[in-house]
Every structure is written in C-alpha cells, then in structure tokens.
Amino acid sequence: MKSTIELLEDTDFPAIKRRGLTVLQVNMGYLCNMSCVHCHVAASPYRTEMMSRELIELIPKVLQIQNIDTLDLTGGAPEMHEDFKYLVKAARKLGIKVIDRCNLTILMEEGYEDMAQFLADNEVEVVASLPCYSLENVDKQRGKGAFDDSILGLHKLNALGYGKDNPNLMLNLVYNPQGASLPPNQQRLEADYKRELKEHFDIEFNQLFALTNMPIQRFGAVLLAKGEFYPYMDLLKDNYDARNLKDVMCRSTISVNWLGELFDCDFNQQLQIPVPNKSRRHLSDLLTQDPAGDDIAIADHCYGCTAGQGSSCGGVLEEETET
C-alpha cells in the first residue's frame, strides 16, 4: 500500500510563488504532554526531537534581517522546550509579535504552573486548540480529562485578562472537525462557541479559527485504515475555491523544523517536502538571502487550504456572506 506522502505527490494543484515574509513559524520540537488523534505532527510525551540552543539563537537575527513581524511558535507543546521562555523574551525585546500555539492542558501540568503568567507578562498571543465545546467530543480527540484541563487552562488565562478587552492579551481558539469533513461556517461556529463557553463555563475568548484537517500523519493513516482517504481527497478537491489562492499562508509564512530546515508550511514539513530553492533550505540561509519570489512546493494536501472557506493558521481565508 502506498503511503499518504506517495498518494499526495502526484498533483494538479496550481503553481504558486512566495511573497515577502511576514511570519516565521518555528516548530520547536515534537515533545508534547498529549497524543491527539488529529495531530498532524504526531507529537507525544515520547518524542525526543527538540531544537538546539544554537539554532534558537539564530531566530532573533533572522527576524531582524528579514524584517519579519510575527514569530509563530508551535510543536509539540512549544512550552515544554527548555528555551521557550528565552526565545519569547528575545523576540519580544525586538518588538516582534509572538504567537504560542498552546494545547491549554500544558498550563495545568506540574512544572508549568507559571506559564500562563509568563505569557501574559510578555503579551504573547495565545492560539489554543479546543476542537469542541463539549467534554465528550474533546476527550474523544485528545484523551480522557483533556476537556476539563482545557477549561481550567482557559479560566487561568481569562483571570489574567486574556480574551477580554485588552488588545495585547489575545486568546484565540482553534476548531478541527472530528472526522473526514470540512469545518462548518467559522462565523456561526464562533458564535456557538462563545455562547456555550460563556453560559456553561463563564469563559471568554477573542476569535475562533476553523481549520481543515490535513490528510497526513496520524489523520492520514486513520483515513487510509478506514478506506476514507480517497473520498476525503475528493471532498477537498470538489470544494476547491481559486479565490483562496491569493491568501494561502505559505505566500507570507515560512516554516522551520527542529533541525533548522525550511519548508513552505508546517504540513510540507511533516511530509518532508522541502522548499524548491536548493540554495535556501536552512534557517541560516535567511541571514543572507530573501526567499520572496521563490516557487512554493505543492502536493494534493494543498487542496485542504483552498477548500470551502479556505484554511490557514489564522482560520478561514474567505468569510462566507450571510444571507
């Protein structure tokens, strides 16, 4: 049987090129306190891949040289990297916006009790995964007890001022469908989340990002095992919207893995599809070279970013017009 990578490589997705960089997305490593079914990086408590201090010290230099305004930190649980706080402080000292892609449960883990306060003190934007507002659905995706710990984590962030009126303490939530389907309308889903979380848990947040599940890693393997891979790819292609091409995140974002290797997006990183330009394939190359205008590596999973309302690390690309 072919792997998901082999199935995705033969594509008719249209060619696209990079614009100027505005976001550097850094995967600090695959260590995580969770093992979520939908995790496209297959992170877990047993992963040992972590970015070196030497590479981390290059990041602030690249941010300055490339005039990048946003550092997007992901993992795994990026907070579990021993140099997470060092990197956040270094970027914030330069006036760079920092995003922490947080699973919420880490805020309740032993040894990380001060993490929420650290994030608030440094005005880090929190983008938190909460695939549903019900216990049953969240625990099904993320493991028993995940929902309760997520709610406690949200309460901790709210108590510090996140998700309220302070524009420097942004709290955005992330929704992923549970199975082989496109996410529903983001605007309506956000209204549902805000109503349910406020009514039942007195929780507030700023925005909801509805993301499409990519047919790679754990989710791709589940699709293959269930015989749903090809129907899911047909769903993505049938809902392709060319208008989303202009705003796909790879045009302005570049992804760095724990080894310092460059990819056009986090999904290409997990598929080990490097940037096409062989002279710009490492973080250190960005100290002397500008990737603007480079071709972007494409494969069939790119339809996941352009189907329906579109999907990016910042949610949908095209808001549907309410009728």
In tens, the pLDDT along 143-199 reads: 556 788 889 999 999 999 999 999 999 999 998 887 788 988 899 999 999 999 999
How confident is the model over 261-278, as a mean pLDDT? 92
Whether 168 maps to a domain, the answer reads yes
pLDDT at residue 323 tops 50: no
- Tell me the backbone φ, ψ of residue 243, rounded to 5 degrees: -65, -25
Whether 323 maps to a domain, the answer reads no
In tens, the pLDDT along 190-240 reads: 999 999 999 989 999 999 998 888 888 777 888 888 999 999 999 999 999
**76 — pLDDT class (breaks 50, 70, 90):** confident
Per-residue pLDDT, 135: 57
Specify the DSSP element, H or E, that contains 228.
none
Cβ neighbour number for residue 232 with a 10 Å cutoff: 20
pLDDT at residue 33 tops 90: no
| Residue ranges making up the domain that contains 112 | 4-306
**321 — pLDDT class (breaks 50, 70, 90):** very low
Whether 322 maps to a domain, the answer reads no
Note the Cα 236 to chain centre separation in Å.
19
User: Which residue has better confidence, 317 or 204?
Assistant: 204
pLDDT at residue 9 tops 90: no
How confident is the model over 99-112, as a mean pLDDT? 94
What are 310's two structure tokens?
């579109």
Which DSSP state fits 124? P
Using DSSP's 3-state secondary structure scheme, residue 232 falls into helix
pLDDT, mean over the chain: 89
Whether 139 maps to a domain, the answer reads yes
What are 233's two structure tokens?
């790819």
For the entire predicted model, the pTM comes to 0.91
Give burial (CB, 10 Å; 0-12/13-18/19+) of 278.
exposed
Number of domains comprising the chain? 1
Query: From residue 169, how far is each of 77, 116, 119, 210 by CA, in Å?
Result: 20, 11, 9, 20
On the CB side of 62, CA atoms within 13 Å amount to 27
Whether 314 maps to a domain, the answer reads no
Whether 243 maps to a domain, the answer reads yes
104: left (phi over 0), alpha (psi -120 to 50) or beta: left
Whether 24 maps to a domain, the answer reads yes
What's the rounded Cα separation, in Å, for the pair 281 and 257?
Answer: 11
Radius of gyration of the chain (CA): 19
Which has the minimum average pLDDT: 16-20, 109-113, 205-209, 309-313? 309-313
In tens, the pLDDT along 113-123 reads: 999 999 999 99
Asked if 66 contacts 286 with a C-beta cutoff of 8 angstroms, the reply is yes
pLDDT at residue 41 tops 80: no
The set of residues, in sequence order, having a beta carbon less than 8 Å from that of 130 and lying 6+ positions away, is: 104, 138, 150, 154, 173, 174, 175, 193
pLDDT at residue 21 tops 60: yes
Per-residue pLDDT, 180: 86
Per-residue pLDDT, 141: 56
**81 — pLDDT class (breaks 50, 70, 90):** very high
Which has the minimum average pLDDT: 9-18, 89-98, 232-241? 9-18
Using DSSP's 3-state secondary structure scheme, residue 302 falls into helix
Whether 116 maps to a domain, the answer reads yes
What pairing do the DSSP bridges indicate for beta strands 70-74 and 97-102? parallel
What percent of the chain lies above the pLDDT cut of 90? 66
CATH number of the CATH domain containing 165 = 3.20.20
As a whole number of Å, the end-to-end CA separation of the chain is 45
**139 — pLDDT class (breaks 50, 70, 90):** low
What's the rounded Cα separation, in Å, for the pair 62 and 152?
Answer: 36
What's the rounded Cα separation, in Å, for the pair 134 and 99?
Answer: 25
